[in-house]
Amino acid sequence: MTAAETRPPGPAGGSAVHRQPWDTLSLAGLTLIGVPVGTAVAGAPITHAGTWPVAAWLALFLLLRRRWPVATLLASLAVIIAFRAAELTGAGWAWPATVIFFLVAADDNPRRHGLRWAVGAGLFQLTFAVNWQWTVEGQDPQRAIGEIGGEALGLALTIAVAVAYRNWLRWRVELAAGLARAEQERRLEAGRRAAEERLQIARELHDVVAHTLTVVGVQLRVVDEALDDSTDEARAALRTAQEVRATAVADLRSLIDVLRGPGAPPDAGGAPAPQADLDGLAELAARTRASGLVVVLDVTGDPGTLTAPVALACYRVIQEALTNTVKHAGARRVTVRLEIDARSVRLDIVDDGTRRTTDESTRRTTDDGAGRVTVGGSGPAAAQGHGIAGMRERVAALGGTFTAGAVEGGGYAVRATIPVAGFRP
């Protein structure tokens, strides 16, 4: 961070120590009174021809110090030299300009190099004073140096205090900037978390609603076709539709309870449903079989060893793949393989679909494994591809890989690999 960035707000071209207009008049008044008082303390006579004019000139120059601080310092020292050379005053060579020395040394504008000018001008003034009193006034060199030494110490103290004050102002500005950055980062993090939560909610809603509507739609079609010929088959289809509907309602209530927050009472309609996991695979397969699709479920390993996020991701990927198969594939058979070992979980959902029965079925999506999702067909629905995108996002969030697309010889395959140790809360 540069000095310009740390400078406190103020008038253009101003310094770190001037932020109110009345500061100028206060400092000018301090100089106008301080020079005669300092002269009296030093034991020198206060004269109308020397002391008061010097004080007036120095106070007048201070009125210009905002635009030309360095020029004000040099002009003030020139006035002191002129009055001392004319023997109109005998009070000090540097201390009458203490206020302007402080202001220039504390100036935080990097283009003016105020500290360098204050130190350089002070050294020149004191060196000139020693030479003047030695060569012109004829004082002993040791005495001249002794008299000027006190002023040198006072000037050094003034500059040190000015530097400390400037650094304090810089620290305040840097602290405020740090707090502002921390607040901005907090807001960005809150926004990122909110976006992730919205995406998670969208995925859950899509998976629950899409699967439910697909299965219910298939069962209602069975009811419509079997109502006249087989009332038993129609009743069985209605029962399946009602069971799927009840499960979906429970899932939605659970999701709504999460959105309400930890302090809100649960939905009065019943207790929240447990989070979907791999224990429900058999039921999921049974519901899908009710649509007339042959579902082969092959599980290797112990699903109970998986963490909840990994188990949920596996369940949702299988659920969405089966839903897409029922809706779009025109398949007779689908095989679901789940292989679990100590390092990873591998999913393979492969169907034998070879035909497209509706316009909607031509819009099956393909993921090339690099995050690019392509959608066949046309129309608004063809541009969405939420199912494939949701599966890919779930797997990627856990550090896994995901591919989906047609397989050689016919059919469609969804494959995912999720590292068991890849989840980090």
pLDDT in tens, 126-155: 888 888 877 777 777 777 777 788 888 888
Query: In terms of pTM, does the model score above 0.75?
Result: no
Strand, helix or coil for residue 347: strand
> What integer pLDDT is reported at residue 148 of this predicted model?
80
pLDDT digits (tens, 9 = 90+) for 198-219: 777 777 666 666 666 666 776 6
Percent of the chain with pLDDT over 70: 72
- Whether the CB-CB separation of 91 and 39 falls below 8 Å is answered with yes
Q: For the chain, how many residues are written?
A: 425
CB within 8 Å of 70: residues ≥ 6 apart = 104, 112, 114, 117
pLDDT class for 22, splitting at 50, 70, 90?
Answer: low
List beta partners, residue 267. Answer: none
- C-alpha distances in angstroms, 111 versus 2, 25, 64, 102, 115? 12, 25, 18, 18, 11
387 vs 357, residue with greater confidence: 387
Strand, helix or coil for residue 425: coil
- 146-167 b/e with 16+ CB inside 10 Å = b? eebeebbeebeebbeebeeebe
* Mean pLDDT of all residues in 81-102: 84
Does residue 291 have a pLDDT over 80?
no
Does residue 422 have a pLDDT over 70?
no
CA distance 267 to 425: 27
Residue extents of the structural domains in the chain = 3-185, 277-425
Strand, helix or coil for residue 346: strand
- Whether the CB-CB separation of 120 and 19 falls below 8 Å is answered with no
CA distance 179 to 312: 39
- Whether the CB-CB separation of 237 and 224 falls below 8 Å is answered with no
Strand, helix or coil for residue 417: strand
Does residue 394 have a pLDDT over 70?
yes
* Mean pLDDT of all residues in 84-98: 82
CA angle 261/266/268 to nearest 5° reads 145
* Mean pLDDT of all residues in 35-47: 79
pLDDT digits (tens, 9 = 90+) for 153-168: 888 998 999 999 889 9
Does residue 389 have a pLDDT over 60?
yes
pLDDT digits (tens, 9 = 90+) for 237-286: 777 777 767 766 766 666 666 565 555 555 544 444 445 578 888 888 88
- CATH class of the structural domain 277-425: alpha beta
- C-alpha distances in angstroms, 409 versus 3, 296, 315, 354? 70, 19, 27, 9
Return the CA Rg of the chain: 42
